[in-house]
Structure 1
Amino acid sequence: METVKPINVAELRRMRVAGEKIASLTCYDASFALVEDRAGVDVILVGDSLGMVMQGGNTTTPVTVDQVVYHSKCVAPQLKRAFLVADLPFLSYATLERALDASQRLMQEGGAKMVKLEGGREQASIVEYLAVRGVPVCAHLGLQPQFVHKMGNFKVQGREDAAAEAMLHDAKVLAEAGADLLVLECIPSELGRRITEISPVPVIGIGAGPSTDGQILVLQDILDISPLVTLGRKPRFVKNYMDGAASIEAAIRAYVAEVKSGAYPDAEHSFDLPLTLQSPEPKAMKLPTAKVAARRKK
């Protein structure tokens, strides 16, 4: 029998350099983990989206570290090839110590190989603190579900040039701080292309256009069974892969194939908004100072 080689951070970087698209999906239980791994999904995320698709909530805010650890423990043992990322839930990384404690639990108890956190340059000290201690980190820019009460609602981010330029800065700063992966959610395709071009690490998009290094969607969304879909609030970037599929595994394989070929996302599932972006490269920006890091400890 052929030995299956597990995907790691180095392999994700190799895929980016080789131009091989990275296919990612969320997962929260053992049964779907087995199917996704067998269907060729490269990166599996135990996201705090479980608060909406598994628990039926309106936001991800109530999700706890204990819950993400539990779902990660269900998923991790089933994976032979896929790379497992787990979300740091709301306020679990509000300080350096809390971020490290939560990451330790997600990796040691939950079996995750990387943790994901939301936020821009203001999270650079957290990313750096984790990275130098051996914790692989995935940063998350654009629409940040944990910030929904601050943003007001779920909507496209980076529409204006100033916001787009700020996101370009954030991407650069987070990579310099030690992030190994970057997720871009719900932004114009052109901005997704620009960030991917300047990023030294692989970029995974969800509603960020076709130019990113890979794509991620919520499993229940592509199976057309998530609460958002059933309530008629399906996001523009979601595609129903159960349509015409003979089985759930066939639907997941179809998704992986379309990501790999570049067929997904097309214009129908992207946000094509005009951007000027006059400056060709983000300006240099310093990482947070020691004073900023000290304030996080309080």
Structure 2
Amino acid sequence: MSTESPVGPSSDAVRPAKIRLRHLQRAKQKGRPFSMLTAYDQFSARAFEEAGIEVLLVGDSVGTTVLGHASTTATTHQDMLTFTGAVARSVTRPLVLADLAFGTYESGPSDALRHGVELVRAGAEAVKLEGGAEIAPQVRALVGAGIPVIGHLGFTPQSVNALSGHRVQGRDEATAAKLRRDALALQEAGAAGVVLELVPAEVAGELTEALAIPTIGIGAGPRCDGQVLVWQDMAGLSGFHGTFVKAFADLGDQLRDAAQRYRAEVGERAYPGPEHSFE
């Protein structure tokens, strides 16, 4: 039985042993949405692999979700190498996608290529960078060197200061038209897909239909080919309740409750008990 079947929850589809970009492309062609979650460590990565998540994004969001920074612009290239390696060493099936950190590609193709190569050496199977037509030369350089690229349009967190905060992009005709031009420019440059963040659902749906490559939405409605969330938001650990976020668990409450019960038992000398001690 072939392992070349499309990604998706179809009963007649065989799950490929390793997710490749071609599987995401086939999922788009078959109309079968795929899932992506961020991951930064072995425990989350392995749990998501066991759950069948197709793509793990080692996002520069590690700076805000793990390292305590106020913005992803503080995430360094070394941070990305460290966390990409941790995830890549921990899984075998999902596609491992890693962000190029702020400042590693804006100056031009050679800088993008150097940092992209280092991410691949750390374990990334594709890299993601933010921007539209202006970064097409960087995309071409990466793809030309054999490094697959996923673009990122709409709200681009590394440009949070220029965008005056977390704002939905593409609500008027002019900005929606620019999103379309940028998406087509990324596709023409060789990008294998594009993330659409904080984009009106109708605009994201139109872009998904216009592009031959998959779209991955975050706050971009249900018509994208795939969906991505920051895992701490998805699991109710971060406490972030944005409009586009659905918490599928309450890990924050569960973790606090566990810590409180641990502290109480230590204070009462109930833990450790005889069963946890050595003679």
Aligned letter for 1:127?
V
Q: Which one of 240, 249, 254 corresponds to residue 247 of structure 2?
A: 240
Correspondence 1:160 to 2:172: yes
Q: 1:222 aligns with which of 225, 229, 234?
A: 234
- The one-letter amino acid paired with 1:235 is G
Work out the number of aligned pairs and report it.
239
Contact 2:126 2:150 in 1 (8 A): yes
| 1:181-192 matched pairs, under 5 angstroms | 181-192=193-204
2:103 to 80, 91, 99: 91
- Among 114, 134, 137, the residue aligned to 1:125: 137
Amino acid across the alignment from 2:220 = A
Matched, 1:24 2:31: no
Instruction: Name the CA distance, whole Å, in 1 between partners of 2:242 and 2:158.
Output: 17
Q: Unpaired segments of 5 or more residues in structure 1?
A: 249-298
1:97 Cα deviation from its structure 2 partner = 1.3
Q: Which of 191, 202, 219 is the aligned partner of 2:214?
A: 202
C-alpha displacement of 1:234: 2.5
Amino acid at match of 1:59: S
The residue type equivalent to 1:240 in the other structure is: A
- Bigger relative CO (Cα 8 Å, ≥ 6 apart): 1
- The one-letter amino acid paired with 2:115 is A
Q: Distance in 1 between matches of 2:212 and 2:180?
A: 12
The equivalent of 1:43 in structure 2 is 55
Show CA shifts across 1:20-76 (max 9, x none).
111000000001110000100001000000111001211100111111010011101
1:145 equivalent in alignment to 2:152:
no
Q: Is residue 218–residue 227 contact of structure 2 (8 Å, CA) maintained in 1?
A: yes
Residue 160 of structure 2 aligns to a residue whose secondary structure is: helix
CA contact (8 A) 1:4 1:80 kept: no
Instruction: Please provide the CA RMSD for this pair.
Output: 1.7
Deviation >3 Å, runs of 4+: none
TM-score (norm 2): 0.83
Is the CA contact 2:237–2:250 (under 8 Å) kept in the aligned structure 1?
no
Does the alignment pair 1:105 with 2:118?
yes
Counterpart-to-counterpart distance in 2, 1:157 and 1:235 = 16
Q: CA deviation at 1:243?
A: 5.0
Instruction: Give 1:106's aligned amino acid.
Output: L
2: CA distance between counterparts of 1:7 and 1:203?
Answer: 16
- Residue number in structure 2 paired with 1:174: 186
Aligned-pair distance for 1:182? 0.5
Task: Please name the residue that 2:261 is paired with.
Answer: none
Contact in 2 for aligned 1:9/1:180 (Cα 8 Å): yes
Shift of 1:241: 0.2
Counterpart among 94, 103, 114 of residue 82 in structure 1: 94
Q: Residue 196 of structure 1 aligns to a residue in which SS?
A: helix
- Tell me the TM-score normalised to structure 1 length: 0.78
Could you tell me how far 1:4 is from its partner in structure 2? 5.9
Give 1 or 2 for the bigger CA radius of gyration. Answer: 2
- Offset of 1:235 from its aligned partner? 1.6
Structure-1 separation of matches of 2:186 and 2:16:
32
Matched residue type, 1:120: G
Residue by residue, what CA displacement relative to the aligned partner does 1:206-253 show, whole Å, maximum 9, x if unpaired?
000000001000000011112xx2xxx522101110059xx99xxxxx
- On the 8 A contact 2:130/2:152 being kept in 1, the answer is yes
